[in-house]
Amino acid sequence: MSFLEIVKQEAEALAKEEGLILYDVEWVNENRMQILRISLNIPDRPIDVDTCAAFSDKIAAVLDEKDLIPQAYYLEVCSPGAERELRSMDEIKAAVNDYVYCKLKDPKEGLSDVTGDLLEADDSSVLISYRDKTRVKQIRIAYDNLALIRLAIKF
């Protein structure tokens, strides 16, 4: 098992204890810096800086105790962002009634992408309500035709 898989297990267990959802654990190199990035969510509300800081302190103590990473690195605990990708069926279903952006593999009804309200998500497709000029329309998109689906910000 790689160190990243072990870190993910530890972070997931701690997140669960704290009532948080682990979104992702990444090991990235940016400007010659090694960064361990842990992204968290909170059910039904945005995550705040204080929650990230408290989790950072707790996971840092666990990582120091286990001594999983021999080289120097930066620990970054953050939100996955307001426009995070929805990567699983569970995440998509949890986003029903949210505003989303979808990129299609093959255009449908003349659209290669669509931004609108996610009305439904079943086991095979999503239903999006979107505006076309002054009219509100709906489009059903099969999961196998989604190149990307992510949350979007409504202006």
Stretch 110-124: mean pLDDT, rounded? Answer: 96
Tokens of 115: 């931004």
pLDDT for the residue numbered 143? 95
DSSP-based three-state secondary structure for 49:
helix
Domain ranges of the chain: 3-78, 89-151
Give pLDDT, residue 152: 97
pLDDT band at 20 (very low <50, low <70, confident <90, very high): very high
- Rounded Cα–Cα distance for residues 113 and 105 (Å): 9
Model confidence over 126-155: pLDDT tens digits?
A: 999 999 999 999 999 999 999 999 999 998
Element (H, E) at 39: strand 33-41
Q: What is the 3-state secondary structure (H, E, C) of 61-108?
A: HHHHHHCCCCCCCEEEEECCCCCCECCCHHHHHHCCCCEEEEEEEEEE
Q: What is the pLDDT of residue 46?
A: 81
- The CATH class that applies to domain 89-151 reads mainly beta
- Label residue 45 by pLDDT band (50, 70, 90): confident
Burial class (CB in 10 A: 0-12, 13-18, 19+), 97: exposed
CATH 3.40.190.80 matches 3-78: no
- Residue 18: pLDDT band (50, 70, 90) is very high
